[in-house]
Amino acid sequence: MEEMIYMAEKAGFAGAALVDTKDIPFEPGFLVCCEENLCGKYGVNYACPPDCGTPQQMAERIRAHRHALVLQTLWEIDDPMDNLKVKPAKGAHNRMERALIDRFQEKWPGGFMVGASGCNVCETCAITEGKPCRFPALKFSCMSAYCVFVRKLAERCGLEYDCGPGLVALFGMYVFD
Ligand code: SF4
């Protein structure tokens, strides 16, 4: 497991920590944040609520595996509500995760990715055309869709959530056995 953390740090992640999935805090009430639809993916993406499943189903999906590697990136952004800057940072975080998890899956197969934002594998999700997901193996939901209480999780893992003025921390996970 130390090797995973080493690989994550080498890949440019600011922090990485292993947790047992039974210790991941969930808050089903966070669903309202998705319903506010600030990201624009609510109801138009298979990986986002309500189509991804209920908060309970999402938590069960994670708890069906034993471990998670929490992955943190840091970005020089003054205002965490500045979507023009945060959105591309989330996209970059997800690409970093995808590349690292592709390597993880050679050694620790059977796991899945939880991103910093909802699935953006396709420019427009197939759900908007009433068609099945085009890349089910690559589809990923975000920490919010799983209703993970990210601040608590970060504290539990010894990773900083509030990194001070001018810095925004983003989080994702590789969930595996
Ligand atoms: S892979 Fe494409 S079709 Fe499938 S959930 Fe992601 S964006 Fe939608």
Q: 71-93 pLDDT, tens per residue?
A: 999 999 999 889 899 999 999 99
Question: Does the pTM of the predicted model rise above 0.85?
Answer: yes
pLDDT in tens, 95-133: 999 999 999 999 999 999 999 999 999 999 999 999 999
Q: Measured from the CB, is residue 142 less than 6 Å from ligand 1?
A: no
Say how far apart CA 10 and CA 85 lie, in whole Å. Answer: 24
Listing DSSP states for 92-136 in one string gives HHHHHHHHHHHHHHHHSTT-EEEESSS--SSSS-GGGGT---S-T
- pLDDT at position 11 is 98
Q: Measured from the CB, is residue 24 less than 6 Å from ligand 1?
A: no
Residue 112's domain comprises: 2-176
| Number of domains composing the chain | 1
- pLDDT at position 78 is 94
Strand pairing category for 167-176 and 67-76? antiparallel
C-alpha 120 – ligand 1 centre gap (Å): 7
- In DSSP terms, 169 is beta-bridged to 74
Q: What is the dihedral of CA 154, 159, 162, 166, to 10 degrees?
A: -140
C-alpha 167 – ligand 1 centre gap (Å): 30
C-alpha 158 – ligand 1 centre gap (Å): 33
The closest of 126, 124, 106, 104 to 114, measured between CA atoms, is 104
- pLDDT at position 164 is 87
